[in-house]
């Protein structure tokens, strides 16, 4: 961007809402993935939808790249501005616009953080169910179709978005969907934008479906002799018709890393963390009896029911901090995060296959995942000085992704395509389907200014 363009952009947002300082550009040039830093030319903080529209109109006319930014917590390079240009940080559009308590809905701006929003909603006995772990922004969660621990019961972000306000590449403002739970009027643009990673438009407002805070809950910790047995138990639990609010699989390494926290003390064995929500204690107890039988049939060595609220909170905090713990243990290593998902019947096969790969390829890392919906992750590490081992991380990822797709699954369950998963798109969807995606991208963004280089290339 030249000085004249920067002056025009400053006129749109105001001098207090734009920065070309290296520190701000550096902060907005990398997310929490291992993908390399790319500096934008400028960072802007719009305060209104009208400003976002004017920014897009300006960028489109000058063919300058626009990349949306929420919390920077994405894990596939989704928010890295590959072609520089302008990063649009929505941190100053972070308000709850209106709470529709009687309808279990809320309308918010995109920059509000998930955990902060839920703290406010809790005063009215409500919460937004998708839980990505990190305190992600709602706009980022929608752009990536974030999911997380509670997806098995409540669905991913896509299942909880009713309506959107979106600014298109040319600056036009459109509204999609409605506040009605049932919608069948025309093409489903709401779900088209959800998960599009900011490549089709910039989300400036969203109406979300909420749920009442559960009156009763119970947490369960079940330990097993090996990871495949734990995965078998997941299939058995879901196959029995029980729907836990959360069902997390952790291999022994993941538990050992969690135990480095003073607040966590679990047996260092493959473990299932389960949580159940219900309208009554009797309902939960009936479900727990079935779950116990399933786990014991699958070889559970320990089954602890009724974990108290404080311990439950400590365990889940440990689970959510697992990535941070790993990065602290391997500070001088490069890392690669895998994110695949398969039909629940194939989950034991995928877990056993991935577990065996660690030894086969001599990879350091751990396996964990939102097992109840078939989602599996690993975080693997290699020395920055060992180029061969770094290549092996990619080989590991390739093997796991191809296995997941062969089992009827996907290359990414919740992290999005971003940079690292583009190479698998044709293998998963076929050339014709990816061609249709490119046509959609060209129609919405003919000048390729919206987060260029992500999802599909044109």
In a domain, 86, yes or no: yes
pLDDT of residue 351: 96
Structural domain including 38 reads: 3-91
In a domain, 123, yes or no: no
Average pLDDT, integer, range 159-178: 98
Residue at which a domain ends, from 64, 91, 118: 91
Domains identified in the chain, total number: 2
pLDDT of residue 133: 82
Average pLDDT, integer, range 145-160: 94
Query: Tens digit of pLDDT for each residue in 200-256?
Result: 999 999 999 999 998 888 889 999 999 999 999 999 999 999 999 999 999 999 999
In a domain, 11, yes or no: yes
pLDDT of residue 90: 98
Q: Cite the DSSP H helix spans in 176-321.
A: 189-193, 227-239, 252-258, 281-297, 309-320
- d(CA 237, CA 303) in angstroms, rounded, equals 14
Contact between 106 and 128 (Cβ < 8 Å): yes
Tell me the pLDDT band of 156, cut-offs 50, 70 and 90: very high
pTM here is 0.94
In a domain, 251, yes or no: no
In a domain, 37, yes or no: yes
Query: Tens digit of pLDDT for each residue in 275-315?
Result: 999 888 898 999 999 999 999 999 999 999 876 677 778 88
Give how far Cα 448 sits from Cα of 390, 419, 422, 424, 444, Å: 32, 16, 17, 21, 9
Is the pLDDT at 5 greater than 80? The verdict is yes
- d(CA 453, CA 31) in angstroms, rounded, equals 15
DSSP state for residue 137 in the 8-state scheme: B
**Residue 195, Cβ neighbours under 10 Å: how many?**
21
* Residue 435 phi, psi dihedral angles, 5° rounding: -60, -40
Average pLDDT, integer, range 119-134: 94
Helix axes 281-297, 227-239, angle to 10 degrees: 140
Query: Tens digit of pLDDT for each residue in 101-120?
Result: 999 999 999 999 999 999 99
Residue at which a domain ends, from 91, 114, 138: 91
Average pLDDT, integer, range 150-176: 97
**Which residue's entry shows tokens 């607040």?**
263
pLDDT of residue 215: 84
pLDDT of residue 361: 95
Mean of per-residue pLDDT scores for the chain: 95
Rg (CA), the chain: 22
Q: Is 7 exposed, middle or buried (0-12, 13-18, 19+ CB in 10 A)?
A: exposed
Tell me the pLDDT band of 52, cut-offs 50, 70 and 90: very high
CATH number at residue 345: 3.30.70.2740
CATH number at residue 13: 3.30.43.10
Is the pLDDT at 128 greater than 70? The verdict is yes
49 or 324: which carries more pLDDT confidence? 49
In a domain, 77, yes or no: yes
- d(CA 277, CA 212) in angstroms, rounded, equals 11
- d(CA 148, CA 129) in angstroms, rounded, equals 9
pLDDT of residue 307: 65
In a domain, 343, yes or no: yes
pLDDT of residue 252: 96
Residue at which a domain ends, from 67, 91, 115: 91
pLDDT of residue 315: 84
In a domain, 339, yes or no: yes
Query: Tens digit of pLDDT for each residue in 406-457?
Result: 999 999 999 999 999 999 999 999 999 999 999 999 999 999 999 999 999 9
Is the pLDDT at 317 greater than 90? The verdict is no
pLDDT of residue 124: 96
Q: What percent of the chain has pLDDT over 90?
A: 87
């Amino acid at each position: 961007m030249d000085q004249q363009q920067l002056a025009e952009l400053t006129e749109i947002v105001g001098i207090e809402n734009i920065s070309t300082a290296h520190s701000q550009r550096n902060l907005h040039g990398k997310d929490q993935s291992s993908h390399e830093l790319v500096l934008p030319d400028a960072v802007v903080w719009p305060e209104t939808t009208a400003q976002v529209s004017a920014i897009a109109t300006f960028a489109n006319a000058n063919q300058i790249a626009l990349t949306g930014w929420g919390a920077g917590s994405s894990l596939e390079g989704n928010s890295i501005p590959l072609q520089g240009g302008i990063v649009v940080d929505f941190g100053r559009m972070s308000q709850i616009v209106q709470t529709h308590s009687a309808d279990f809905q809320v309308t918010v701006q995109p920059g509000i953080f998930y955990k902060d929003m839920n703290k406010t909603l809790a005063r009215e006995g409500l919460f937004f169910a998708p839980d990505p772990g990190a305190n992600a922004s709602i706009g980022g969660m929608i752009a990536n179709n974030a999911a997380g621990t509670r997806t098995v019961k409540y669905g991913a972000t896509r299942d909880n978005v009713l309506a959107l306000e979106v600014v298109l590449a040319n600056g036009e403002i459109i509204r999609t969907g409605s506040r009605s739970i049932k919608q069948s009027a025309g093409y489903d643009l709401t779900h088209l934008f959800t998960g599009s990673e900011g490549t089709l438009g910039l989300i400036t407002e969203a109406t979300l479906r909420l749920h009442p805070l559960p009156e009763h809950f119970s947490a369960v910790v079940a330990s097993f002799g090996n990871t495949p047995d734990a995965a078998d138990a997941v299939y058995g639990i879901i196959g029995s018709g029980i729907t836990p609010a959360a069902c997390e699989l952790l291999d022994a390494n993941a538990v050992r890393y969690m135990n480095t926290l003073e607040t966590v003390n679990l047996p260092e064995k493959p473990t299932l963390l389960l949580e159940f929500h219900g309208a009554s204690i009797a309902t939960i107890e009936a479900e727990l009896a079935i779950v116990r039988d399933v786990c014991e049939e699958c070889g559970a060595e320990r089954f602890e029911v009724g974990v108290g609220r404080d311990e439950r909170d400590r365990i889940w905090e440990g689970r959510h901090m697992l990535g941070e713990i790993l990065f602290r243990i391997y500070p001088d290593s490069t890392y690669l995060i895998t994110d695949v998902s398969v039909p629940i019947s194939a989950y034991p096969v995928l877990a056993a296959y991935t577990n065996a790969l660690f030894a086969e390829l001599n990879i350091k890392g751990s396996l964990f995942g939102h097992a109840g919906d078939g989602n599996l992750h690993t975080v693997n590490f290699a020395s920055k000085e060992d180029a061969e081992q770094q290549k092996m991380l990619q080989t590991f990822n390739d093997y796991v992704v191809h296995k997941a797709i062969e089992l009827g699954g996907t290359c990414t369950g919740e992290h999005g395509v971003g940079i690292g998963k583009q190479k698998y798109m044709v293998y998963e969807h076929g050339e014709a389907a990816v061609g249709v995606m490119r046509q959609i991208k060209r129609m919405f963004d003919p000048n390729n200014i919206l987060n260029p280089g992500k999802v599909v290339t044109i």
